[in-house]
Structure 1
Amino acid sequence: MGESRRVSRARRRGLLLACLLFLAALAAAGADEARRRFSPTADEADHVAQARFVRSGGPVPPKLEQPGVLLVLAGSALPPDPHASAPEEVRAARRPFPLLFGALVLVSGAWAARRSGAAAGIAVTALLVLDPTLRGHGALVKTDVPVALFLVASAAALDLGLSQARRPRALLLLCASGASYGLALATKASAAAFLPLFLAAALPGLLARRRRAGAGIAALLVPAAAVLLAVQAFAFRSVPRESIRAAATRMFRTMPEPAPARERILASAPKGIAAWAGGADYLRRRGRPGKWLNYLNAEVRGGGFLLYYPVALLVKLPVGTLALCLGAPLALLAAWGRASPLRRRRLLRLARGRAVLPGFLGLSWIALMSVAPINIGVRYGLPGAVLLVVSAAGILATALRGTRWRVGVPALLVLATAAEALAFRGREISFGNLLAGGPSGLRRVLTDSNVEWGQEQERMFARASAGDLGRVAVVAPYVDAELARRAGVAWISRAEEAGDAVFVSTFAWDLAHALARWDEGPRYPWIAYVRSWMVPLVLGLEERASSVEPFGDGYLLLRLRPAPTG
């Protein structure tokens, strides 16, 4: 009988693993399809240029602010010689990133399955596979999905390590957690700001076993530092220090504030760490209030919105995922109210083991992003969103009794998400859920990389080249110069420069109308400067327009009356 049970348990585990691997493969395939379909998005060409420089040398790029993981991944997929076409160069560099999205799906689902059961694990995996926003950003040469992968993997290893009774295995898992956190640091410098909160999540478990506390903290921090050093050293092994300093000089040219500590690091630290510190300081200075156009509910602020990320997740998460995250705590409260005292203690113990760590880390990440003065896309909140999904799945598995409920309710949530994703297929970046009114209604709440990021450029330029629109211009925060030149489309800065038709990105359109109402005065000079030319440009084009037609989710096609003369 015992042998039969072991075989049956091993078979179930094998089936679960096969299911998770299949779903992860679907995730990678979906992101790879988006990789080939999307035009180059904002900053991708810059990231690819940095990756090629780090890999092969050549002219020093204007910026060198990205940490090593992105540069190594993108550089590994580039051919020895640059593509003749810049868009194809970007598409080539994207190749590894869908695999990281698949890995994020697999790690999240396996963690949920380990803690909360097979049904929870499969539900988490399926919900992440179906999430259009995650899939779209998982296709790009960006840090958002990779850092989510490494933070979630670090949290999963930490959770499993704290639950181990055997000291060697616990320390091994804590070392794995630290190493994964080191990869997060080598992916996105802002992960450093999250480290105190991550350690705060680990401390209760470490202090519960006092003999392990010191060794546990060391097992987290030492591998993290070692991995960061190793990745940065590998990424910048062929880059002369003079090139790193030259790039830093260019980056900080418009930021003349003295920074003696940064200069000492650039001069004497290992090259990889010098590049990491310089990039981190550059991004920190660029992240000050007034350096970004933060948009929410048709309003622009220089200092950001405290509720930006909660609102963004409310309208960007699929309805099934949203129902899980909001409904699971209510289900647990209902179960608590009906339970006996003994059952309540069991519910508390299960919920603590399954949901507290990912829930605390997810909410902490969202809170950290919310107090930052940069609100330019839900993508910054993706690590927190994934952690909250894992936590909510654990809460729901705790609240529901009986196999039918534990399987049936998650299955309904997955089916609802699948139906919504199918209805809005092909609109990953601009996806808005049913609460937002779909992608077309999302612009009432959000813009920027939530809607238009350049992903539809080639389709727009193909329409401009058809020949029936006359002289065509474009107004967009990001335009690929090569694509515009080939299509014969000019980027304009004054309404009088437009000919017969103009494509205006929905981002620029929404931003201009919000800036027209902007009232923060001289507090933020850069925003005032952007307002001084963007508002007359877009409103002037709107006044000249004989018709305004949506073109996809990212652009509006304005057919223009002749410009007034005299």
Structure 2
Amino acid sequence: MNDPSHRNRTGPHIPLLGAVLLLGGVMAAELALSVRQQAQTWDEAYHLLAGYRYLQAADYGINPEHPPLVKTLAALPLIPLQLNVPHVPQGTSKREGFAAARKFLYSNDADALLFRARLAAGILALVLALLVFEAASRMFGVGAAFLALGLVVFEPNLLGHGPLVTTDVGLTCCLFAAVYSFHRYTTQPSTRKLVECGLVVGITLAAKHSGVLVFPILGLLAIAEILLAFRPKSDPTGSSGKRMRLALRHAARLGGTLLLISLIALVVLWAFYAFRFSARPDGLEMTPPLAEYISGVNAPGIKNPIVARLIMGLHDARLLPESYLYGFSDVLIVSEGHRPAFLFGTLYPEGQWFYFPAVFIIKSTLGFLLLVVLVMFAIKILRTEKLRESLYLLLPVGLYVATSLTSKLNVGVRHLLPIYPFLAVLAAGAAWNLAKRNRRWATAVA
């Protein structure tokens, strides 16, 4: 908070705002141009039909494998249109859903529908860019914020997936927002910030089923806060016993905070499903029912019996919406399945642990990778001056990467997109701190 650049940020600064808007405009133009250039991807028609059905009939049984946020946002611009909507099948199988989605898209003006939907979906990429600037500014100063913003604005992976009617950039935006909102709360606690964090965590759950990782991430960050409170630097004059009591009080307070955040998040998640347990309206049912789907009747099911019983327990107690549980089960079944993976000219029978590290290196730009490498040269600075900020950026990346190493579903860099904003802020902060201390580093960063 004593950073002069942070004090400047809080005052009126028209050139600063103009520069941010300029970079935001560049990103918006990049996203808008790619909307017309990209052909329809496999999932987009299904997602668009699902979002339209959510808004039209609250039928959350269509495409339950992804929560409603991005699909609903993308379908909003379609509501004023007079669309030809083919009959939606009574069943909810993926085969029936994809067939109905193709009819929905191509019995109307497909280009017009995709254009409107993609522009709406691209809003989340722009929100992400602004959040990255704000977070980097608070953590490392305005100079680092502009560097981080530049990394995001010109990141090909985010630009390529940003305008698509898919859930990857939506999760990336929401997960980063959730961690940043928790950082804001723990920096200066208030009821308003706690509620804001709960709302954002709930939206993260509604963005993608892997958004559930926000809970262990916040748990790790809470543990980090407790350990930081126990450090001698937190109270140089106090004894170890006093620091222990301080850490225990901090742990109790953070435990209560996480509980309240979780409760608020669950209310938000229920709101995305119209506070209705049943996935489908008017007495329609999921096919097959959740119990059969989990047990694997005539199809692969969930292999872990404990997880299967837990999901059915949540279903029977109606603690979570049926559609959310159905989709979460689908994600587990697909991720446990044996889908082939192709890497370095070799077709593997199933996903490999080294797939995502290799894809990250191949798909990321050289400039981005070099700035990430600079973090190692700034470890001493980050450890002594920016340890707390660094933990808020490193722990989410570490947990997400560790999870990806165990995944059997290797389908591209899009499943790693959530680590990019964290790395962008960390790399920018490291580079900026090095540049301020040494002219040679400043030249290298430039």
Match of 1:84 in 2: 108
Rate the CA distance shift 1:172–1:257 in 2: closer, same or farther, 3 A. same
Match of 1:227 in 2: 268
Number of residue equivalences: 389
Quick check: 2:351–2:409 contact (8 Å CA) kept in 1? yes
The question of 1:56 aligning with 2:103 is answered: no
Match of 2:208 in 1: 188
* Range that drifts further, 296-305 or 80-89: 80-89
Supply the distance in 2 between the matched residues of 1:261 and 1:277 (Cα, whole angstroms): 10
Quick check: 1:351–1:395 contact (8 Å CA) kept in 2? no
Percent sequence identity is 23
1:141 deviates by: 0.5
> C-alpha offsets along residues 64-99 of structure 1, whole Å, 9 cap, x if unaligned?
322120232122121342462334433332221111
1:253 deviates by: 6.7
Match of 1:110 in 2: 134
Supply the distance in 2 between the matched residues of 1:126 and 1:6 (Cα, whole angstroms): 19
Match of residue 318, structure 2, among 243, 256, 269: 269
The question of 1:358 aligning with 2:393 is answered: yes
The question of 1:198 aligning with 2:218 is answered: yes
In the TM superposition, 1:38-187 aligns within 5 A as 38-57=38-57, 63-78=63-78, 79-82=81-84, 84-164=108-188, 167-168=189-190, 171-187=191-207
Match of 1:31 in 2: 31
1:364 deviates by: 1.7
Supply the distance in 1 between the matched residues of 2:335 and 2:9 (Cα, whole angstroms): 51
Q: Secondary structure, in 3 states, of the residue corresponding to 1:39?
A: coil
Supply the distance in 2 between the matched residues of 1:284 and 1:7 (Cα, whole angstroms): 47
Quick check: 1:94–1:140 contact (8 Å CA) kept in 2? yes
Q: Secondary structure, in 3 states, of the residue corresponding to 2:347?
A: strand
The question of 1:371 aligning with 2:376 is answered: no
Match of 1:343 in 2: none
Q: Secondary structure, in 3 states, of the residue corresponding to 1:233?
A: coil
> Amino acid of the residue matched to residue 345 of structure 2?
A
> C-alpha offsets along residues 47-68 of structure 1, whole Å, 9 cap, x if unaligned?
1121122222499976432212
> C-alpha offsets along residues 425-472 of structure 1, whole Å, 9 cap, x if unaligned?
xxxxxxxxxxxxxxxxxxxxxxxxxxxxxxxxxxxxxxxxxxxxxxxx
1:254 deviates by: 4.5
1:122 deviates by: 0.5
Match of residue 313, structure 1, among 360, 364, 369: 360
> Amino acid of the residue matched to residue 134 of structure 1?
L
Instruction: Give unmatched runs, 5+ long, in structure 1.
Output: 337-345, 413-566
In the TM superposition, 1:3-14 aligns within 5 A as 10-11=10-11, 13-14=13-14
> C-alpha offsets along residues 174-193 of structure 1, whole Å, 9 cap, x if unaligned?
43233212111111111214
Q: Secondary structure, in 3 states, of the residue corresponding to 1:287?
A: helix
> Amino acid of the residue matched to residue 183 of structure 1?
I
> Amino acid of the residue matched to residue 83 of structure 2?
D
> Amino acid of the residue matched to residue 381 of structure 1?
L
> Amino acid of the residue matched to residue 284 of structure 2?
S
Quick check: 2:6–2:141 contact (8 Å CA) kept in 1? no
Supply the distance in 2 between the matched residues of 1:6 and 1:13 (Cα, whole angstroms): 12
Rate the CA distance shift 1:246–1:264 in 2: closer, same or farther, 3 A. farther
Q: TM-score, normalised by structure 1?
A: 0.62
Quick check: 2:277–2:318 contact (8 Å CA) kept in 1? no
Instruction: Give unmatched runs, 5+ long, in structure 2.
Output: 85-106, 230-246, 303-307
* Range that drifts further, 44-53 or 58-67: 58-67
Rate the CA distance shift 1:59–1:108 in 2: closer, same or farther, 3 A. closer
Rate the CA distance shift 1:9–1:127 in 2: closer, same or farther, 3 A. closer
Rate the CA distance shift 1:244–1:51 in 2: closer, same or farther, 3 A. farther
Match of residue 296, structure 1, among 343, 356, 361: 343
Rate the CA distance shift 1:18–1:406 in 2: closer, same or farther, 3 A. farther
Match of 2:98 in 1: none
Match of residue 335, structure 2, among 275, 279, 287: 287
Supply the distance in 2 between the matched residues of 1:23 and 1:67 (Cα, whole angstroms): 31
> C-alpha offsets along residues 327-366 of structure 1, whole Å, 9 cap, x if unaligned?
2322x25xx5xxxxxxxxx753323133221122112212
RMSD (CA atoms):
3.3
Supply the distance in 2 between the matched residues of 1:217 and 1:97 (Cα, whole angstroms): 30
Supply the distance in 2 between the matched residues of 1:201 and 1:366 (Cα, whole angstroms): 16
Quick check: 2:353–2:406 contact (8 Å CA) kept in 1? yes
Supply the distance in 2 between the matched residues of 1:269 and 1:9 (Cα, whole angstroms): 47
Supply the distance in 2 between the matched residues of 1:237 and 1:84 (Cα, whole angstroms): 30
> Amino acid of the residue matched to residue 302 of structure 1?
P
Rate the CA distance shift 1:262–1:114 in 2: closer, same or farther, 3 A. closer
Supply the distance in 1 between the matched residues of 2:6 and 2:72 (Cα, whole angstroms): 43
> Amino acid of the residue matched to residue 116 of structure 1?
F
Supply the distance in 2 between the matched residues of 1:57 and 1:266 (Cα, whole angstroms): 22
Match of 2:305 in 1: none
> Amino acid of the residue matched to residue 258 of structure 2?
I
Rate the CA distance shift 1:407–1:121 in 2: closer, same or farther, 3 A. farther
Supply the distance in 1 between the matched residues of 2:254 and 2:64 (Cα, whole angstroms): 38
The question of 1:214 aligning with 2:255 is answered: yes
Rate the CA distance shift 1:55–1:135 in 2: closer, same or farther, 3 A. same
* Range that drifts further, 225-234 or 38-47: 225-234
Quick check: 2:59–2:280 contact (8 Å CA) kept in 1? no
Supply the distance in 1 between the matched residues of 2:312 and 2:398 (Cα, whole angstroms): 36
Quick check: 1:64–1:248 contact (8 Å CA) kept in 2? no
> Amino acid of the residue matched to residue 295 of structure 1?
F
> C-alpha offsets along residues 199-226 of structure 1, whole Å, 9 cap, x if unaligned?
1122232573625323322343222222
1:38 deviates by: 1.2
Quick check: 2:60–2:323 contact (8 Å CA) kept in 1? no
> C-alpha offsets along residues 111-139 of structure 1, whole Å, 9 cap, x if unaligned?
01111111110011111111111111001
1:234 deviates by: 6.5
Supply the distance in 1 between the matched residues of 2:420 and 2:14 (Cα, whole angstroms): 28
In the TM superposition, 1:221-260 aligns within 5 A as 221-233=262-274, 239-240=280-281, 242-246=283-287, 254-255=298-299, 257=301
Supply the distance in 2 between the matched residues of 1:247 and 1:15 (Cα, whole angstroms): 58
> Amino acid of the residue matched to residue 56 of structure 2?
S
Supply the distance in 1 between the matched residues of 2:382 and 2:65 (Cα, whole angstroms): 47
Rate the CA distance shift 1:60–1:99 in 2: closer, same or farther, 3 A. closer
Rate the CA distance shift 1:232–1:117 in 2: closer, same or farther, 3 A. same
Rate the CA distance shift 1:7–1:296 in 2: closer, same or farther, 3 A. closer
Q: Secondary structure, in 3 states, of the residue corresponding to 1:400?
A: helix
Quick check: 1:49–1:61 contact (8 Å CA) kept in 2? no
Supply the distance in 1 between the matched residues of 2:443 and 2:422 (Cα, whole angstroms): 22
Supply the distance in 1 between the matched residues of 2:367 and 2:118 (Cα, whole angstroms): 29
**Higher relative contact order at CA 8 Å, sep ≥6: structure 1 or structure 2?**
2
1:312 deviates by: 1.1
> Amino acid of the residue matched to residue 182 of structure 1?
G
Supply the distance in 1 between the matched residues of 2:206 and 2:38 (Cα, whole angstroms): 26
In the TM superposition, 1:527-538 aligns within 5 A as none
Q: TM-score, normalised by structure 2?
A: 0.77
